[in-house]
Structure 1
């Protein structure tokens, strides 16, 4: 039997504490020093565990304050969740889509955590490139919970976007997302027809329906072609 790496053991310990309710949202988790002492590992190993859980949206890190359990279902959003096909059409553009991948895969730890499923269980993955006037606008990589969208792999996503389909079968109740600037890798550059490196806008989004977490998506757009806007209404 293969021994699980120490950083993975730390991650499982943290996840177990959160799932059991022992650690609540916004609660500070043990520091790198405390975890390295508890599991008898280097600080680098403890840092890797915390960093991977932060990247998956399970934890949040605040400079100078520490690491905390993320707010999974109560974070308000500054971004309106819209269908990209509708956005393109509203601008008077012609929307098309290229499906690069549509498959069932074994969920590695970060994906399993993000979807609330077991590690190595089967989840659905799609990779699409959304186009406006025949020019690539956005790469969408999405992981979907099969229990909430069992027919996902049978859909023709050149005719309906994953977002459109999912809100039909599992109406959206909550969402959480983060936005950051990244430098794209070779695959993203190729898919977006980027002939020179430029910063891209990456949006990581998880969505919930009444049945649980529906999907975990990564949306990447060239910084020169896409922007975010929003409208806020404040209660008196």
Structure 2
């Protein structure tokens, strides 16, 4: 028994001796936008051994969304670095003793569950051969949409809205938190934003939402009857193929 324990201890020491520290930079980049960083809570990264699922490293991307001019306004030649030392990323430091095939899993944005995207890729890690710079960049498609009004499960008296209607207001940003506004870098004029309306499970039509100020989209819903209402707000950019959705339910009563 003692010999077995000693053998296992020596074996473990040998593994650690021959394992080599290997660094892997992982970044999450919003589709048609910038890197997912601290300003929106980051992306959560998990690096796994693809053979047995063992987690080799995990953590959140931290740092800035990156250089807007470089990322969004400049033509990029081969080998152009889009990141710098301040740009958001997660540096995985992994000890391996042989080439290891890994899964890189990204959940982003980690703090916005209604908009979260799970994206992944795979690659070989070679002991001691660091992958730095931009590193592995995982694209995160979509928009972060939060319906602000009406709010979830709100009860509204019919008499209070039968003349004025109910205001629909949503906050919409890129997946990195980058702002959307008319004539901006992320131009709301290029985006279709609508609210789909249901009452008691039946479709009632749609309302186009306008963008009066940065990140804010709104419209007015006419209400004539009591019932259970559902609002689905979607954003769609035909040029990039980006889409996003949020839903809420509310009640109109006597």
| TM bin (shorter chain) | under 0.3
Normalised by the length of structure 2, the TM-score is 0.23
Normalised by the length of structure 1, the TM-score is 0.24
Computing the radius of gyration over CA atoms, which structure comes out larger, 1 or 2? 2
Higher helix share: 1
Structure with more relative contact order (C-alpha pairs < 8 Å, separation 6 or more) = 2
